[in-house]
Amino acid sequence: MALTILCYPDPRLHTVAKPVQAVDDRIRQLARDMIDTMYQASGVGLAATQVNVHERLIVLDVSDTRDQPMVLINPELVWTSPEKKLNEEGCLSVPGIYDGVERHLSVHVKALDEHGNARVIEAEGLLAICVQHEMDHLMGKVFVEYLSLLKRNRIKTKMVKHQRELRAAS
Ligand code: NI
């Protein structure tokens, strides 16, 4: 079941998520729904925050075949490379906006999977970018907050206008 994605500047996107207390059927169902939502929106990652659930859970799929979903519960960065790189990013919560954000080139992330098993993922490339972007969501941070105030305000205005048009059309 696809869920509704919150759109910037919705204040709920700035909620700090709490740790998942138990990896149970409720969490597995949420993860499945988030994966459906991510695929339907053609995204490579989605954080629970974006579907208005404020628990530390993210889903990702950076494969070309779109059939290798990953579920990371209570993710923690255990290592980050000193090297950083500027990449163009977008976000399902900020449709149509792409801009440069500097991220660690590679990261090691410790997380539970949907069965409650702990593992450490060594991420680089798109996966590393995605993990950092989605983990920011869990802290209530949207990527546009790395941009200048001028740019951010411009994006905010555009998003509010866009959402008003969507409402008028429905
Ligand atoms: Ni995002």
How remote is the CA of residue 144 from the centroid of ligand 1, in Å? 10
- Asked if 89 is an active-site residue, the reply is no
Cα–ligand 1 centroid distance for 149 (angstroms): 19
State the chain's mean pLDDT as an integer. Answer: 97
Would you state the pLDDT for residue 166?
A: 87
Catalytic residue among 55, 76, 134, 145: 134
Whole-number CA gyration radius for the chain: 16
DSSP secondary structure, 104-159, as one string: ESEEEEEEE-TTS-EEEEEEEHHHHHHHHHHHHHHTT--GGGGS-HHHHHHHHHHH
pLDDT at residue 135 above 90? yes
